Amino acid sequence: MAEIMTLDGVKKSYGGGKSPLVEVLHGIGLQLVEGEFAALLGPSGSGKSTLLNIMGLLETPTAGELHIAGTATAGLDDAARTALRNRYLGFVFQFHHLLPAFSALENVMMPLFAGQGRVTLQDRERAAMLLQRVGLAEHAAKRPVQLSGGQQQRVAIVRALMNRPRLVLADEPTGNLDTQTANEVFALLHELNREDGTTFLIVTHDQRLADGCPRQIRLLDGRLQPDGVVSPAPSASGR
């Protein structure tokens, strides 16, 4: 299967100069292949967010290589990284982060709109189809505030799919949902993975949800735990 993303010896440190240098990631090597459904687990402070930001091309590694769909990303400027993000990646945030000034349908179209600068009627139809797929067809014209938490997160998930990304990065997508809604949202992610073959990397604290993922990547103190090695269970009070 094709590799979507490869990390090789990725390090990240903060500070330097007057403030002390702190290394958060100590050389991460990781591959994600097409169609994977992986969970990224780790306690608070393990470097999960930093790793996710680096994989999302939102931060640059201090050292190491990151390839996305075969493209090396070292040395690219902001415009080039922005273009890669727009083309290959989809983002789902913990707090849905929909734009309040736009309707559900417009929010779904936003990645395409933002990347191309304009949208066509076909794009609109695709967005409507995506909303229909997650059972929100009749809510297309509503603003985010008029939707429930679960509905908002479903809009955010299909928004991440709008550009047909190769990889969707989800940062605790069920973090602020009640258990039942969280289960539904997780089931939806699974379904999208099975039916479309979209690759997902899902950061979660919830071991129960992670157990439902074919692959679990564990991060502890800035290092990856070998697959299959059970690390100390992340504390439930982590968030």
Partner 1 sequence: MNFVWTVAWRLLREGRFQTALILAGVSIGVGVIVYITAIVSGLQANIIERTLSTQAHVVLRPADLVNQAPLTVPGSVKLADIAKRTQRENTIANWGSIVARVRGTPNVSAVAAMASGPGVAQQGGVRKSIVLMGVDLDDYRQVVRLDNKLKAGRLLLPTGTALIGKELAADLGLQPGGRLRLQTATGGSQSMTVGAILDFGLKDLNKRWVLLPLREAQNLLGFQRDVTEIYIKSERLFEAESLAANLALATGLTADSWQTSNGQLVTALKSQSASSLMIRVFVTFAVALGIASVLVVSVVQRQREIGILRAMGTPASRILAVFLLQGGLVGLFGSLFGSLLGAAMSVGISRLALTEDGSPLFPVVLDGELFVTTALIATLVGVLAALLPALRAARLDPVEAIRG
Is residue 14 within 8 A of residue 190, CB to CB? The reply is no
- For residue 50, the minimal CB distance to partner 1 (Å) is 9
CA 31, 32, 38, 40 dihedral sign is: positive
CB nearer partner 1, residue 33 or residue 119: 119
CB nearer partner 1, residue 101 or residue 230: 101
- For residue 237, the minimal CB distance to partner 1 (Å) is 21
Burial class (CB in 10 A: 0-12, 13-18, 19+), 158: buried
Pairing of strands 3-16, 63-68: antiparallel
- For residue 77, the minimal CB distance to partner 1 (Å) is 10
CB nearer partner 1, residue 53 or residue 231: 53
- For residue 83, the minimal CB distance to partner 1 (Å) is 7
Chain residues that interact with partner 1, rule: CB under 8 A: 53, 56, 58-59, 78-79, 82-83, 85-87, 89-91, 93, 97, 99-102, 110-111, 113-119, 159, 163
CB nearer partner 1, residue 72 or residue 83: 83
DSSP H or E run through 161? helix 149-161
- For residue 192, the minimal CB distance to partner 1 (Å) is 17
CB nearer partner 1, residue 14 or residue 238: 14
Residue 26: Cβ within 10 Å count = 15
Name the DSSP letter for residue 17.
T
Helix (H, G, I), strand (E, B) or coil at 149: helix
CA 219, 225, 226, 232 dihedral sign is: negative
